[in-house]
Amino acid sequence: MDPVPELDLSADAVTLTQQLVDIESVSLDERAIADAVEVALRGLGHLSVTRRGHTVVARTELGLGERVVIAGHLDTVPVNGNLPCVREQTPDGEVLHGLGTCDMKGGDAVILRLAATVPAPVRDVTYVLYEAEEIDSEFNGLRLLALSDPELLTADFAILMEPSNASVEAGCQGTLKADVRTTGERAHSARSWKGVNAVHKAGDILDRLAAYDARQPVIDGLAYHEGLNAVGIRGGVAGNVIPDECVVSINFRYAPDRSADEAEGFVRDFFDGYEVIVTDNAPGALPGLDRPAAKAFVEAVGGEVAPKFGWTDVARFTALDVPAVNFGPGDPTYAHKADEHVRAAEILHCEDTLRLWLTQDQSIGGGEG
């Protein structure tokens, strides 16, 4: 068995980000990084540590009246020539380049630093570092934890350290994946009129998508922007055969005022006349900014808030009736890109902000402690 990589929780959060990035952890291959996280956290006497699969949970047990979950995923998308981590000094400050710097090992480093250096917070804290967020939801560590140990996710409030430019992003949009299928009849391409070309029939599907007019609802003062797009197309048998099937894969990003069923209904109506097979559907999360816990946190970090357009596990906490927001370092537009990077200043800002909030004597319900 390979040795467990070492994480130095006494290092600053920027250095710790580099250490995490350099442990390759593509989805379903998180054992090494989970081992490293578990070993590091078990060395902290003020936390109780639980591991399920490649998900690690560390909790304070101070008996305080409030509890917050601070969570981040350990996995990344596949490597794209962007490992190991490279640190660069720029006129605007230090930048870390590499897979996971933005999505979301900068946030994970903040979690680990807080776990190590805030032994006596004013509210109990559950730190969750989990597996398989970047792939289909059946593998998602938070989902599996909610099934196996729901008590570990019980809280008054949750913070997802997803990249959000070191500012608060509330709620999240839902995401639906589906295959839209056309059928035809095979024939020799030399006698194409003897068959029906399923690829040609897909043209109408693409025309509908090109004409799609995105809905932009305003929810709790935040403007969301839906999107319906083809993300893949497949068909064809051989270079001399008229294809009898074509499948257009689509992704619908829908505002959180739609339920999963409503989103599916919209997609089926939109592609009326075609076979639609839904392959994944994760509902979004309403901003919930009217909840006292969310209002108190937003006020504590300066009062600025924006909508989250991508899907995040905020939605899983919403399903558990735990209000949650996204707050992490990194520009989400660089997530999954070959030139993924994060500014060191954002990592340190998130750490300082959360440290202050975890140690200041103020209720997450908004009153004085």
Q: What is the pLDDT of residues 254-295, one digit of tens each?
A: 999 999 999 999 999 999 999 999 999 989 988 878 777 777
Q: CA 168, 169, 171, 172 torsion: positive or negative? A: negative
Residue owning tokens 């839209």: 180
- Does a cis peptide bond (omega within 30 degrees of 0) precede residue 84? yes
Q: Top-level CATH class of 174-282?
A: alpha beta
Helices 106-117, 31-42: crossing angle, 10 deg rounding: 20
pLDDT, tens only, 238-260: 999 999 999 999 999 999 999 99
The model's confidence at residue 363, banded by pLDDT at 50, 70 and 90, is low
Domain topology for 13-172+285-359: Aminopeptidase (3.40.630)
Q: What is the location of CATH 3.40.630.10 in the chain?
A: 13-172+285-359
The model's confidence at residue 84, banded by pLDDT at 50, 70 and 90, is very high
The model's confidence at residue 367, banded by pLDDT at 50, 70 and 90, is very low
3-state secondary structure of 78: coil
Residue owning tokens 């993300």: 231
The pLDDT of residue 366? 45
In 236-304, beta strands by DSSP E: 241-242, 245-254, 275-282
Catalytic sites, residue numbers: 75, 133
pLDDT, tens only, 146-162: 999 999 999 989 999 99
Determine how β-strand 48-52 pairs with β-strand 55-59: antiparallel
137 pLDDT more than 90: no
